[in-house]
Amino acid sequence: MKTCLIVDFGSQYTQLIVRRLRELRVYSRLVQSRDLKAALNEGSVAAVILSGGPMSVVDQNAPGLELSLQDLKVPVLGICYGMQYLAKELGGQVDSQVAREYGVELLKQHESSVLWEGVESSEFSVLMSHGDHVSKAPPGFRPTAFSEAGVLAAMEDSERKLFGMQFHPEVSHTPAGNKILKNFLRLCGFSFDWDASQMLEELRLKLKSEVKDGKILCAVSGGVDSTVLAVLLNSIFPGKVECVCVDSGLLRKAEVKELRELFEKHFNFPIRIVDAKRDFLSALTGVIDPEEKRKQIGRVFIEVFEREVSDLSEVKYLAQGTLYSDKIESTSPHGGVSKKIKSHHNVGGLPERLNFQLLEPFGEIFKDEVRVLGRRLGLSEDFLGRHPFPGPGLAVRIIGEVTEERLDRLREAEACLQEVLKDSDWLHRLWQAFCVYLPVSSVGVMGDERTYEHCIAVRCVESEDAMTASVGALEPQLLEKISRRIINQVKGINRVVYDISSKPPATIEWE
């Protein structure tokens, strides 16, 4: 299977490159530069893309490749920082003077290029996000586009099949981006015949090679990712998987009950439910900082797992449904230079000491690709269409300290939101819809009496992959209905607000 490798130089958009290529039916994966040589030796690599990044190529400790560009022997596309790296390494010049461009800019084609084939206009919008720029192209390169401000926006050496773009073709703000990427991939010889279902056999082979002996403890939260993982593991290692759901008290309303019924009715393997509500609430008492919440939750999860399997000496592996998007926000998936946005309890929140070998088979897979795997494994569409839910649960949807009273209120508010959206046929039109508990008191009036109670924020977003998201365009009448239902049914709440922030600049979750 032909592969395109994306070298991770730390851009928050790097994962989107992987995503876009997979949407174009080309298999791609991220690698750190130190692993590039080994990956190239696998023999199936047909192209390399150098990602953007937060640093300057002129910095003393700027990331780069541990082998020369000439040694790659496949077509190379440099994006943003990647273009500047090409220029610096091949004899061009990179400058930081008066060239900052952040946001959507107009690109103007300067010369013809195979990359512009099918692009309808010689001028089109692109997303720029850079301070440095290539002020002099390397020998053998010709400029093919400039920004409206005169910054070199694209260059190429067609003979050596080396290409550079100062803009980001992988983001939706560059409408022609998919055509440009497809043109690059076409000249690399890709036939655009890969699909996510092909990963199932690859995952099976990979897991069989990783799991030598001993049993697997599979952490099941009730969400899509961990449940698909449980079904996959049991299909590969029947009788060797212990599925455990830790009821942390941080789950949605009736989630544990629904999970137990799902396993009893549809799967031929059991699940153990562990009541650990007291452990988690005790650990979260007085904790306000969201990063500390995640660390405490990660610590308690491991302690509960270790306690539950103390009599199972054969358990050697802990399997989690961690996704690509979880890892990119916590750190680079391959130990690279990406800036941490937030820890996920099952990534950056895990303690350093683990008595298990960690298995994260979905660590290079997107949410919708997990759903494809779930369909192949026979899970229902109703279940696979569930909205994403954070690993730390409702703890990171409560701003401030987590208490039992706040959890109960938030659970009820979220149930109200889901019911209204389902009744109005909006639930499956959204990527994610949830409530956030705000410990902000405000004055209200109920039954001719003054109230001084808390506030719920409603967050509804549309997205393809959770890397970017836009605000759900709910009608005002529907928003009013949601507000009335929550205020009428949840005691202690007298105000509801609607979050209208996109991602970026905001994240989807608040903490």
Using CA atoms, how far apart are residues 493 and 487, in angstroms rounded to an integer?
6
pLDDT score, position 355: 72
- Please tell me the distance from the alpha carbon of residue 53 to that of residue 82, in angstroms, as a whole number: 8
Whether pLDDT at 94 is above 60: yes
Number of Cα atoms under 13 Å in the Cβ half of residue 153: 29
Lowest mean pLDDT among 61-70, 275-284, 319-328: 319-328
Rg (the chain; Cα; Å): 25
Q: What is the pTM assigned to this prediction?
A: 0.72
Q: Does pLDDT of 347 surpass 60?
A: no
Taking only the tens place, the pLDDT of each residue in 416-467 is 999 999 999 999 999 999 999 999 999 998 877 888 999 999 999 998 777 7
Candidate list 4, 101, 156, 168, residue with the active-site label? 168
pLDDT for res 341: 46
Would you say 20 and 181 are in contact if contact means Cβ atoms under 8 Å apart?
yes
Q: What percent of the chain has pLDDT over 70?
A: 93
> pLDDT tens, 369-394?
899 999 999 998 888 888 988 889 99
Active site residue 168: yes
pLDDT in tens, 143-161: 999 998 899 999 999 999 9
170 is catalytic: yes
**Cα-based distances in Å from 499 to 298, 456, 510:** 28, 10, 10
**Residue 15's pLDDT is what?**
83
Statement: residue 353 has pLDDT above 70: no
pLDDT band at 327 (very low <50, low <70, confident <90, very high): low
Mean per-residue pLDDT for 279-288? 96
**pLDDT for residue 131:** 85
Choose, from 80, 218, 243, 245, the residue flagged as catalytic.
Answer: 80
- Rounded to an integer, the average pLDDT of 52-57 is 92
- Residue-wise pLDDT tens digits, 211-252: 988 899 998 988 899 999 999 999 999 999 999 999 999 999
- Does the pLDDT value for residue 64 go beyond 90? yes
Q: What DSSP string describes 204-216? A: HHHHHHH--SSEE
**pLDDT value of residue 348:** 40
pLDDT score, position 90: 95
Mean pLDDT of 3-27: 91
Q: Is 4 tagged catalytic?
A: no
SS3 content of the chain, % helix, strand, coil (to 5): 35, 25, 40
Portion of the chain with pLDDT greater than 90, in percent: 60
Given 101, 156, 170, 255, which residue is catalytic?
170
Using omega within 30 degrees of 0 as the cis cutoff, is the peptide bond preceding 504 cis? yes
pLDDT of residue 354: 63
Q: Look at residue 164 and tell me whether its pLDDT is greater than 90.
A: yes
List Cβ neighbours of 476 (8 Å cut-off, separation of 6 or more): none
Closest C-alpha among 155, 149, 168 to residue 111: 155
Nearest-angstrom CA–CA distance, 80 and 131: 10
**C-alpha closest to that of 368 among 499, 285, 466:** 466
Cβ neighbours of 204 (radius 10 Å):
14
Task: State how far the Cα of 146 lies from the Cα of 101, in Å rounded to an integer.
Answer: 12
CA neighbours closer than 13 Å in the CB half-sphere of residue 379: 25
pLDDT higher than threshold 70 for residue 339: no
Token pair for residue 246? Answer: 């830790």
Residue labelled with tokens 């500047």: 84
